[in-house]
Amino acid sequence: MNAAGVLKTYFGYDSFRNGQEEIVQSILSGEDALAIMPTGAGKSICYQVPALMLPGITIVVSPLISLMQDQVKALNEAGVHAAFINSSLTETQIAKAMRLAAEGRYKIIYVAPERLESAGFMQFARNGKISMVTVDEAHCISQWGQDFRPSYLKIVAFIDSLADRPIVSAFTATATREVRTDIECILKLQNPQVVVTGFDRENLYYSVEHIGGKRKDDFVFEYIQRHAGESGIVYCATRKNVDNLYEKLSRNGVSVTRYHAGIDNETRKKNQDDFIYDRVQIVIATNAFGMGIDKSNVRFVLHYNMPQSMENYYQEAGRAGRDGENAQCILLFSAQDVMINKFLLGKKEFEGMDIDDIELVKQRDTHRLQVMEGYCKTTACLRNYILEYFGERPAAPCDNCGNCHQEYYEQDMTSDAKWVINCIAEMKGRYGLNIVIGTLLGAKRARLKEIGADTYRSYGVLEQRSEADLRLLIDQMLAEGSIVQTGGEYSVLQVGDIRRLKEEDTHVTIRKAKEQEKTANRTKKKKTDALTGAGFDLFERLRQLRLVIAKEEAMPPYIIFSDKTLIDMCARVPKNQKEMLAVSGVGENKYQKYGERFLQEIAAFLSENPNAVLSAQIDGEEESASVAKKGRKDAFYLKQEDAEQFPYAEYYYISDIREQLNRICSASNVKQVTLTVIWDYLVAAGLTIEEQGAEGYVKVQTERGLKLGIKTIDKVSQGGFAYQLLMYPEAVQRMIVGYFVEQRAKI
């Protein structure tokens, strides 16, 4: 059987994802491999498929017990003989596993790095045929990574001790250059095939909400209410925050549990399982939670506090939407979060590192924190901010994040800026940010009296301003260099280059967000939205069945079938074995175990609802591939009754229009409408045009479009690059909808 056959038979997938095939093929041709792929991209498949095809055994080194257990469960479900050996087993169990391994009963064995040193394991490895050693979470080998594990350094000696050098493959989601070089060098990879797939996770929507104090609690509560029935994680910086929020939410009847290092092991394990097995909806946790959690149907990750680095954030946020369905990542930011993180970093321990290294690590930590703060404060595309940090060069703003959807206005603060300079000059550059702000606002603080700030000319001159505006202004002045902040533990503000400020007609403005409706209905639709009401009823029934089976088998529901697989079942409505095997995520083994029961459930549903239309359309990687083969979908159109559902608004971006069109369309056999199709119509109708500008083609409205009210919104990208987006008024929305109703007649 070839690789594609293995993928289909065992895992039930029709095609490899971006990057997977390259890795699989290079391993099969005997080469080493290093894959850097974001969480959820599908790293496991990259070594599991070749492991099944190579003649001998594959040893997977993995840092976390829970991760191993989950992987092995999933493999066993898929009909693959796999085992794990780690400290959660008794000596007797370990001995048994080793015996079976020696008999060649397992194709894949997961081990903790410490195990590689044990005499028993070494003996087994020398006698058995080891085809490949796979190092999962390979960044743990690097001191520059976030989770350095000294035990990872032992992997090389283990590989060297084998008579025949196996293929070595390494996997990580951490992209920075230092870490990558460390992995290649320390693991002594030989001419590895290095594959770095894009870091973008298209199905994740990012946003940052600037709110402080108790209002965060309200936000979280309301958000959870709006997302009833969806699984979510709320991360907090401290245990105390976890406990407080937990108390508050459970008092308000939210289905919630908690997780942090201060809870005893047993309870912690139980809480984690409650979340994984869908017994509770929400988990509130510190960053201790999540490593090794593969739960695929997490629909949102909220950060109650800002994390310490982009790496942390991306990893934690990335736990949302692993099944490829749309999910949201929302960070609640307040200035206090920066202080908390500085405090936490100050407490960090550096065991066994020499003094130079410690200094270097501290500098990196500080830098990481600044980058993270930058994310919370930028007004440009959030996705691009992340991607640029990880070394990618995104072309255009994503139009699918909080900032891309936010409108801004400018506020003049020229004279305020001059007062900031005066104040710092009066203090002779001896004090930090909080003292400067307190002075300008005329705060009644003992400390200000003590240093005599209340006698300054600048004391209280800006009392009518809000503290938030002043902070925005100072951030901006720091970025421009008119003031500078010294490093070190007691950082103070000093006057920088103020030539520009002295110019006659200079202007200092800050960009402020316009108040507008929150994210609620602006985000991309979920895949379940492609199901009609009846389709959703079936989905719920299949979920119930999955829960029943999960209980019987003592497995997390998502290991039986993912949400994505159930949705695909609702869309395809399989009636026999062949059709069921065509569903994405249904492999031979799972079919044998559960296929019949799901077929029966679907048949029962159909006989109760003979005329049900189950899905509007499904658009996904596997689906579009199989549709392309059959070539059977019609161009997008709307039925009259669908058209009446369109939620007209004063203004929409073109992406909003697309989203609404796809959402309301109930026809079963049509393609999703794309931006290009809508745009082409607008051009054909003489409302918009693409013009050659100084920097390539730009999209603008025509005279006629302008008359109908199409307007231009100015935006600035992360790199300071100005661009424009068009917004379409209700009149134009009606024309577009009308056009797609007409298209129906042509089909």
Residues contributing to the site for ligand ADP (CB under 6 A): 13, 16-17, 20, 37, 39-45, 294, 296, 322-323, 562
Please identify which residue in the block is written with the tokens 């895992």.
11
The 8-class DSSP code of residue 592 comes to I
Which of residues 78, 135, 168, 381 is near Zn ion by CB under 5 A?
Answer: 381
Nearer to Zn ion, 119 or 722 (CB): 722
User: Which strands make up the sheet holding 651-653, listed edge to edge?
Assistant: 651-653, 722-729, 711-716
Least distance CB 620 / ligand ADP (angstroms):
9
Please choose, out of 334-342, 402-410, 567-575, 601-609, the segment that lies near Zn ion by the rule CB under 5 A: 402-410
* Residue 562 interacting partner from ligand ADP, Zn ion, none (CB closer than 5 to 8 Å by kind): ligand ADP
Least distance CB 138 / ligand ADP (angstroms):
12
Which of residues 73, 180, 368, 383 is near Zn ion by CB under 5 A?
Answer: 383
3-state secondary structure 659-693: HHHHHHCCCCCECCCCHHHHHHHHHHCCCEEEEEE
Q: Is 404 in the site for Zn ion (CB under 5 A)?
A: yes
Instruction: With beta carbons less than 8 A apart as the criterion, state whether 675 and 658 touch.
Output: yes
Least distance CB 173 / ligand ADP (angstroms):
7
* Residue 39 interacting partner from ligand ADP, Zn ion, none (CB closer than 5 to 8 Å by kind): ligand ADP
Nearer to ligand ADP, 37 or 133 (CB): 37
Nearer to Zn ion, 38 or 42 (CB): 38
3-state secondary structure 198-267: CCCCCCEEEEEEECCCCHHHHHHHHHHHHCCCCEEEEECCCHHHHHHHHHHHHHCCCCEEEECCCCCHHH
* Residue 672 interacting partner from Zn ion, ligand ADP, none (CB closer than 5 to 8 Å by kind): none
* Residue 304 interacting partner from ligand ADP, Zn ion, none (CB closer than 5 to 8 Å by kind): none
* Residue 404 interacting partner from ligand ADP, Zn ion, none (CB closer than 5 to 8 Å by kind): Zn ion
CA distance 183 to 34: 8
The 8-class DSSP code of residue 323 comes to T
Please choose, out of 101-109, 112-120, 379-387, 460-468, the segment that lies near Zn ion by the rule CB under 5 A: 379-387
Residue nearest to ligand ADP (CB): 42
Nearer to ligand ADP, 249 or 583 (CB): 583
Q: Is 405 in the site for Zn ion (CB under 5 A)?
A: no
* Residue 726 interacting partner from ligand ADP, Zn ion, none (CB closer than 5 to 8 Å by kind): none
Least distance CB 79 / ligand ADP (angstroms):
15
Taking CB atoms within 8 Å and a gap of at least 24, the contacts of 214-217 are 216/304, 216/332, 216/334, 217/245, 217/248
Q: Extract the tokens encoding 720.
A: 């300071």
Least distance CB 364 / Zn ion (angstroms):
27
Report in angstroms the alpha-carbon separations of 556 from 73, 282, 295, 548.
9, 16, 8, 11
Which of residues 330, 401, 473, 550 is near Zn ion by CB under 5 A?
Answer: 401
CA distance 48 to 545: 28
* Residue 294 interacting partner from ligand ADP, Zn ion, none (CB closer than 5 to 8 Å by kind): ligand ADP
* Residue 300 interacting partner from ligand ADP, Zn ion, none (CB closer than 5 to 8 Å by kind): none
Q: Extract the tokens encoding 325.
A: 């369905």
Helices 43-53 and 20-28 cross at an angle (nearest 10°) of 30
Instruction: With beta carbons less than 8 A apart as the criterion, state whether 139 and 147 touch.
Output: yes
Q: How many residues bind Zn ion (CB under 5 A)?
A: 6
User: Letter for the amino acid at 312?
Assistant: N
* Residue 45 interacting partner from ligand ADP, Zn ion, none (CB closer than 5 to 8 Å by kind): ligand ADP
CA distance 15 to 92: 41
Q: Is 524 in the site for Zn ion (CB under 5 A)?
A: no
Phi, psi of 733 (to 5 degrees): -55, -40
* Residue 41 interacting partner from ligand ADP, Zn ion, none (CB closer than 5 to 8 Å by kind): ligand ADP
Nearer to ligand ADP, 24 or 189 (CB): 24
Phi, psi of 450 (to 5 degrees): -55, -40
Nearer to Zn ion, 242 or 381 (CB): 381
The 8-class DSSP code of residue 166 comes to P
Binding site for Zn ion (CB under 5 A): 381, 383, 397-398, 401, 404
